Chain A
Amino acid sequence: MMLASTIWQRELIEFAQRRRALVIKLAFPLLVAIPLVLSGAPPIYAAMGITMLAAIIGALGAAAVLSRERQSGLTLRYRTLPVNPGRLLIERLGTSAAIDFMQLTPVLLLIALRHPSQFAWWPALMLGTAAVLLIGNLLGALASTLSNSPGEVMLYVVVPLLPLLYLSGVFTTLDQPALLLISRLLPFGYLHEAVLGTLGGQPNLLPWETLLGAFGFLVGAAGLTGRLGRRVLETD
């Protein structure tokens, strides 16, 4: 019997023990990505689909789990643990984002193998995916504090997520300077650029610029998660 002594170990053990969920979690992104990557769809559309997939997996997964825990009383139990709330949330969302990353790894491998000549974009692709997943998890965690109903929480996730994806230039190329500036201040554009570059499209940024942006958002998201620990865990 696997035993967990830490919060991140517990997350991993529970994930590994949910066999059916494990299969679905690994199969679902591939089912979406295979037609996009292998069918010869224009890179701009494929990049849009994969960026949305990463954002939704991160945000909806965390929102669903945390709102269910709030309803069942597990959040109250976490609240009474002798652990700093910031550290607790970082461990939980960090592990959850890592599990989401594992879920997306077959998709990333598929993209890389399909376009091996674009290897310069691979680091940005990985870091961009990690940043979007962690931010998605944080968004889901914040949404879970707004309602005890999982259905309602899904709505609270999607409502800000779609405009943010638009403002990141995921749905359409942004020409106006003001919108372009806003897109640089949001994390999703960097993943979109990285996917576009890896698929052989025409991104606006260079690989190192995208890598730097993604890294900044990853670090920023980790810091923000720590600061929002009390907000997420101690809100009734």
Chain B
Amino acid sequence: MRDDTASEPSLLSTSGLTRAYRGGKGVFDVSLKLSAGEIFGLMGPNGSGKTTLLRLLATAANPTAGRISWFGTTDFRDPSVRRRLGIMLDQPAHFEQMTGYQNAWFFARQFGLSEDFARERLDELFNWSGLSEARGQLVGEYSLGMKRRLNLVEALVHRPSILLLDEPTLALDYRGELDLIERLQLLGLTGTAVVLATNDVHLAERLCDYIIFLHNGRVIREGRVPDMLTEVAGSKEVELQLNSPVDLDGLRRLAAVEGASVQGDVVHVVLSRGANPAQVLAVLNGTADLVSVMRVRQPNLGDLFLKLTGVVLPAAHR
């Protein structure tokens, strides 16, 4: 947990935050502090607790232990807290028998916007999101990508102080992703704090100031993005597409290998600084014909995660 300073008061902080579900799932003992204008990334594989943590921060779930403070209050039902949160949860839930505009209008009014201001903001955001043409269409007829964009409109409409976004780029096209990055960077500059749960390492590296790695519901590493990238700087990520199974344990025993994992017919290997990728081929013991493709690239946050846990982030190598 970082130190709070008088010049940088936190908008949101948690200490020992725990939400335990039956079967051992949940999040455990999470402490974080979010300041104005900061963009925070929660990363981890599916089931690591990102969505649970985001729901707790969004007041959609109650902790079983620990505390959360929003703008200095711990009452998660306080309407003044909720009015300052912009939330996009994992499910793009809407009233399907109402149009996109009717949905967005309802949520805008629930968050206390006047009719004039709601109209002005919605006009702007529907244009930005590319949903203008579909504003009169029933949400039940929207594609997943359109529903996700409508969620973004609803999360942004009341100019929240904190934005909580779960996989915001999921189902967005490339243009939509770029527009979102630009918008979030602008919001960060104007003091809006953002927490985003994502496995998109490129999005995280480009957008986030601070990253938390979650694994099995616990924080396994956190830090500023440049600092975390330094940990894997100089090392290399080797990706091997295989025709038949490989001796993964043999690879892991190599001194130069910091982490190795297999996903389908692709093996990801993180090599330490100065290691030669040919060493990987050597351990395959002359069976190079089992490798159909071999790629070597600079490491990213996904490789750090792999190095720490032996687990590949689902979208890390996109």
Let me know if B73 is at the binding interface, CB within 8 A.
no
Q: Is the CB of A4 within 8 A of B79?
A: no
| A13 / chain B contacts, CB cutoff of 8 Å | 98, 102
The interface on chain A, measured as residues whose beta carbon lies within 8 A of the other chain's beta carbons, has a size of: 27
| B61 / chain A contacts, CB cutoff of 8 Å | 236
Q: Is the CB of B58 within 8 A of A82?
A: no
Separation in Å of the B74 CB from the closest CB of chain A? 16
Q: Is the CB of A79 within 8 A of B93?
A: no
Let me know if B216 is at the binding interface, CB within 8 A.
no
User: Which of B82, B89, B94, B98 contacts A17 (CB under 8 A)?
Assistant: B98
Q: Is the CB of A80 within 8 A of B91?
A: no
Let me know if A159 is at the binding interface, CB within 8 A.
no
Q: Is the CB of B110 within 8 A of A81?
A: yes
Q: Is the CB of B97 within 8 A of A80?
A: no
User: Which of A5, A14, A69 contacts B109 (CB under 8 A)?
Assistant: A5
Separation in Å of the B77 CB from the closest CB of chain A? 7
Q: Report the bound CA distance from A80 to B94 in whole Å.
A: 14
**Given A4-B105, A81-B82, A76 and B97 contact (CB-CB distance below 8 Å):** no
Q: Is the CB of A234 within 8 A of B82?
A: no
- Name the residue of chain B whose CB is nearest to the CB of A4: B106
| A83 / chain B contacts, CB cutoff of 8 Å | 79, 110
Q: Is the CB of B60 within 8 A of A76?
A: yes
Q: Is the CB of A82 within 8 A of B99?
A: no
| B102 / chain A contacts, CB cutoff of 8 Å | 1-4, 13
Q: Is the CB of B87 within 8 A of A80?
A: yes
Let me know if A73 is at the binding interface, CB within 8 A.
yes
Q: A72-B93, A73-B91 are in contact. List 16 more A-B contacts (CB 8 A).
A: A3-B105, A3-B106, A4-B102, A5-B109, A13-B102, A17-B98, A74-B94, A74-B95, A77-B87, A77-B89, A80-B82, A80-B85, A81-B111, A82-B82, A82-B111, A84-B79
Which are the 9 A-B pairs with shortest beta-carbon distances? Answer: A73-B91, A73-B93, A82-B79, A82-B82, A5-B109, A74-B93, A82-B83, A3-B105, A76-B60
